[in-house]
């Protein structure tokens, strides 16, 4: 798998960037367009590199502080036919499918951790679907609620924040969780009360025996185990860009259904079931964050890809260019 890296830099940084690119084994092509950038004023350099070499290449480029004076953008071409690329791929250890680009992971988790209107809308819809599934004893509606729920983004962001000690990201992810879920539960409680008043369901419909939704308010050891496994699978799918596996993670955990049951149980005057569902919600969120953080730590330790965080949080980095050590500071 190959990636195309477009770099915009002032002319003073063109030679250092070219030096890095020429000395990097995973780079198969280098194109230079002098003066092609108008804003900012500078040159445009386009590299073609195998995916498994891009993380190391980015670490070297970050030391030039390019983000402050220009930009680095990465795209994935649909098809590249090149013997030079094939030879470069043979020279780099590893496989593109397992390669991690930490800047990509951090950007994705950071974007998904924001408290946005779209995040709130999806969470409101998901918890409402869960509430409907609970009062109608419909596992299909509950599974649908799991798929729609957007909560894994903030949970993954929280895991990344713990690993990288990025407290600003931790606050943003926590805000998305602790503002979004209570608001969604309040709306679901109001909808439940209105439905009960309209006679769309009765207390007996929800509180009857042998219901398929009993697992939601009965947390146990396996609740936490499932959350641990789901968090690990979710982070692996996020790192590996495997969206199909991420959907499976959504279906496996009961965060959204638990939030829905808290709202329904409180309206029906069942504090015991509400407490059990709340515990289920907390166990699942804690398990996901813990296992996702462990996956990040293990990947960084085993692959030895990153001694320090990326430019999003690193303060300093060093790189040798032509025998000269370059030091630069990164923004927070």
82-141 pLDDT per residue, tens? 888 888 777 776 665 667 787 888 888 888 888 999 999 999 999 999 999 999 888 889
Residues 190 and 274 in one domain: yes
**Cβ-based burial of 286 (10 A; exposed 0-12, middle 13-18, buried ≥19):** middle
Question: Is 181 found in the same domain as 79?
Answer: no
Domain match, 19 and 163 both: no
In a domain, 217, yes or no: yes
Domain count, the chain: 2
Q: What percent of the chain has a predicted confidence (pLDDT) above 70?
A: 84
> What is the model's pLDDT at position 321?
42
73: left (phi over 0), alpha (psi -120 to 50) or beta: beta
pLDDT confidence of residue 324: 42
Q: Is the pLDDT of residue 310 over 70?
A: no
Q: Please check whether residues 135 and 158 belong to one and the same domain.
A: yes
Closest CA to 100 of 71, 67, 58, 61: 58
Q: In this structure, what token pair is assigned to residue 59?
A: 């670490």
Once rounded to an integer, what is the mean pLDDT over residues 163-185?
92
Average pLDDT over residues 245-263: 79
Residue 209 has pLDDT above 80, yes or no: no
Report whether pLDDT(258) > 90.
yes
Distance of CA 304 to the CA centre of its chain: 21
Instruction: Identify the pLDDT of residue 113.
Output: 87
% of the chain with per-residue pLDDT over 90: 44
Identify whether residues 12 and 119 lie together within a single domain: no
Mean pLDDT, residues 267-274? 92
Give residues with Cβ within 8 angstroms of 285, minimum separation 6. Answer: 151, 155, 177, 227, 255
- Answer yes or no: do 253 and 147 share one domain: yes
Does 244 lie in the same domain as 148?
Answer: yes
- Does one domain contain both 110 and 50? no
- Domain-embedded: residue 308: no
What is the pLDDT averaged over residues 291-297?
Answer: 91
Which comes out higher in pLDDT, residue 25 or 72?
72
pLDDT digits (tens, 9 = 90+) for 32-46: 999 999 999 999 999
Q: Which pLDDT score, from 0 to 100, does residue 218 have?
A: 82
More confident site: 316 or 225: 225
Per-residue pLDDT at 308 exceeds 50? no
Confidence (pLDDT) at 131: 93
Q: Which domain does 198 fall in, by range?
A: 105-303
Lowest mean pLDDT among 92-96, 157-161, 294-298: 92-96
Q: Which residues of 3-20 are buried (b: 16+ CB within 10 A; e: fewer)?
A: bbbebbbeeebbebbbeb
Residues 18 and 112 in one domain: no
Average pLDDT, the chain: 83
Q: Report pLDDT for 106.
A: 80
What angle in degrees, to the nearest 10, is found between the helix axes of 152-164 and 167-198? 160
Q: Is residue 310 part of a domain?
A: no
Assign residue 69 the CATH number of its domain: 3.30.70.120
pLDDT at position 304 is 52
For residue 13, the model assigns a pLDDT of: 94
Do 49 and 27 lie in one domain? The reply is yes
| Residue scoring higher pLDDT (316 or 283) | 283
Q: Does 312 fall in a domain? A: no
Average pLDDT for residues 273-288, to the nearest whole number?
93
Q: Is residue 311 part of a domain?
A: no
What CATH number should be reported for the domain holding residue 147? Answer: 1.20.1080
- 309 within domain boundaries: no
Among 291, 218, 229, 286, CA closest to 257? 218
Judged by average pLDDT, the poorest of 202-216, 222-236, 251-265, 277-291 is 202-216
The highest-confidence range among 73-82, 167-176, 228-237, by mean pLDDT, is: 167-176
Q: Is the domain of 84 the same as that of 113?
A: no
- Residue 262 has phi, psi (to 5 degrees) of -60, -45
Residues 117 and 157 both lie in one domain:
yes
Q: Is residue 127 part of a domain?
A: yes
Confidence grade of residue 316 (pLDDT, cut at 50, 70, 90): very low
């Amino acid at each position: 798998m190959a990636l195309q890296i477009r770099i915009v830099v002032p002319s003073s940084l063109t030679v250092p960037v070219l030096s890095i690119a020429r000395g990097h084994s995973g780079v198969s092509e280098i194109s230079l367009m002098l003066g092609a950038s108008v804003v900012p004023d500078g040159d445009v350099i386009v590299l073609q590199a195998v995916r498994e070499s891009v993380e190391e290449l980015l670490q070297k480029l970050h030391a030039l502080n390019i983000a402050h004076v220009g930009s680095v953008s990465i795209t994935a071409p649909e098809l590249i036919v090149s013997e030079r690329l094939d030879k470069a791929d043979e020279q780099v250890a590893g496989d593109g499918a397992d390669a991690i680009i930490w800047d990509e992971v951090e950007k994705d988790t950071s974007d998904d951790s924001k408290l946005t209107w779209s995040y709130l809308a999806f969470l409101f819809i998901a918890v409402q679907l869960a509430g409907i599934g609970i009062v109608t004893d419909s596992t299909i509606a509950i599974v649908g609620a799991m798929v729609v729920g957007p909560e894994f983004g903030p949970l993954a962001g929280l895991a990344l924040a713990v690993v990288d000690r990025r407290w600003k990201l931790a606050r943003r992810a926590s805000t998305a969780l602790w503002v979004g879920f209570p608001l969604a539960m309040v709306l679901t409680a109001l909808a439940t009360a209105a439905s009960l008043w309209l006679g769309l369901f009765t207390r007996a419909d929800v509180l009857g025996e042998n219901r398929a939704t009993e697992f939601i308010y009965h947390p146990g050891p396996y609740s936490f185990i499932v959350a641990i496994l789901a968090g690990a699978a979710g982070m692996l799918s996020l790192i590996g860009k495997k969206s199909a596996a991420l959907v499976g993670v959504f279906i496996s955990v009961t965060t959204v259904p638990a939030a829905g049951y808290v709202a329904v149980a409180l309206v029906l005057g069942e504090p015991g079931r509400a407490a059990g569902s709340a515990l289920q919600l907390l166990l699942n969120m804690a398990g996901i964050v813990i296992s996702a953080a462990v996956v990040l730590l293990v990947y960084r330790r085993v692959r030895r890809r990153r001694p320090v965080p990326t430019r999003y949080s690193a303060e300093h980095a060093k790189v040798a260019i032509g025998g000269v050590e370059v030091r630069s500071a990164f923004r927070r």
